[in-house]
Amino acid sequence: MSILADALAPICAGSTVLVLFVICAGDVVFRAQRLIRSVPRCGNEDESASYVEQPGKRMSQRAYSWGVEGADLALMVAEVSARLRAGAPVTQAWARTWADRGDGREFSGVDEMGVPHVVRDDARKMRARDIRGPAQVIRWWRGRTYAGRARIRAARGLVAACSLTGQLGAPLADVLDAIADGIDESEQAEEARRIAGSGPRASARILSALPLGGIGVAVMLGADPLGMLTSGGLGTVGGCVGAACFIAGHVVSRRMLRKALSGDEDVDQAILCDLAVAGLESGASIPATCSAIGVAIGSDVLARTGKELTLGVDWERAWEECVGPQRVLYESLRSAWNDGTSPIPLLRRAAHQIRCRRITQARTRAEELGVRLAMPLAGLLLPAFVLLGVVPLVVYFGREGFGGFL
């Protein structure tokens, strides 16, 4: 057993150093990517032409494309709207705008609902089962970040807007103008959520690395933590308890962080209100608008609610199964349906209220998370650090004295 411990000691020390290096390097690379993306891109028509003429280069850029960021998508929406108002056809407006502001992928037209294929592709979240190569791995990983979730949410809002105009015949330029500000605001809220949660996340990462760091320090000081933890008796019991505390603390803290700081990837509630306003202003009725929005966002429940209202089902009965973000439409349209009031002001007020409260709610949730994280971090990761890193050092110095270290 001691021979095995002696053989594993340098491996453990090297693994600890490697893990810490990977964490630091990953953080540096992530920040560098954010800095590079913040620099405005420059280009000319010759570069665009050479890009089109080289299929290999096009496929390479397309394979490793990560999608349009939220800010670029909002500018793209505004430019498409301007081209439409100038008289350009829908497909031509999207194609020219994509050539100017796209991410390098080839524009492949629009579908039967009027949604560009590239935008619909950005709105689809990459699942682990969809991974077929390095490009899919990169896209899957990027989709788990704050910027990736904001991009998916913005793309889904744009898909819903294009689909809504295809069903109701509403002017696409007006609908795009209505959601452009919502895309910008959604990205700002996601960035505020990321900044507010950086403190609790850093604390969790540091405390998660402490047990491994303690083992590495003990090995470098000449102690034999693995030998003590695998020698049987109290040492093995302490090692098992420490490992269990380390795994439990890591899992619990990650779940709490993900639950508190991850935003909803469905279509934004405020954009739902904007879409409802656009549909009603185009002359559609409340049932037709609800049904069209349900089809646009892929909600069978909301689409069925609109059809039930058309058939004369009671308001409360028709909305029984609608939960989550769609309830904002129930609250905003109820007085218009029951009393004949105008739904437009209430929908706009609801969208404005959602946007005003979102950043404050993100900061409040991050502060509450810092308090809730104290229990798993202090109750699980600190005991793991003591049992795995501190106790072997104490036992070593108790046996050998400080002379062996000096």
Q: Is residue 203 included in any domain, yes or no?
A: no
Answer whether residue 30 is part of any domain.
yes
Measured between alpha carbons, how far is residue 349 from residues 65, 170, 355 in Å? 38, 22, 10
* Per-residue pLDDT tens listing for the chain (406 residues): 444 444 444 444 444 444 444 444 444 444 444 443 443 333 333 333 332 333 333 333 333 344 555 457 788 888 999 999 999 998 999 899 988 887 777 888 888 888 888 888 877 776 666 666 666 666 666 666 666 777 777 888 888 888 888 888 888 888 888 788 777 777 777 777 777 777 777 877 887 788 888 788 778 877 777 777 777 777 788 888 888 888 888 888 888 877 766 655 567 788 889 899 989 988 899 999 999 999 988 889 999 999 999 999 999 999 988 887 888 999 999 999 999 999 999 999 998 888 888 777 777 777 777 777 777 777 888 888 888 878 877 877 777 665 444 4
Cβ atoms of residues 145 and 190 within 8 Å: no
Q: How many domains does the chain have?
A: 1
Tell me if 281 is assigned to some domain: no
Structure tokens at 404: 């062996």
72 in a structural domain: yes
Asked if 217 contacts 35 with a C-beta cutoff of 8 angstroms, the reply is no
Is 221 part of a structural domain of the chain? no
SS (H, E, C) 150-168: HHHHHHHHHHHHHHHHHHH
Asked whether residue 131 is assigned to any structural domain, the reply reads yes
What distance in Å separates the CA atoms of residue 168 and residue 288, rounded to the nearest whole number? 8
Task: Assess if residue 36 is contained within a domain.
Answer: yes
pTM: 0.64
Domain residues for the domain of 34 are: 26-179
- Residue 359 included in any domain: no
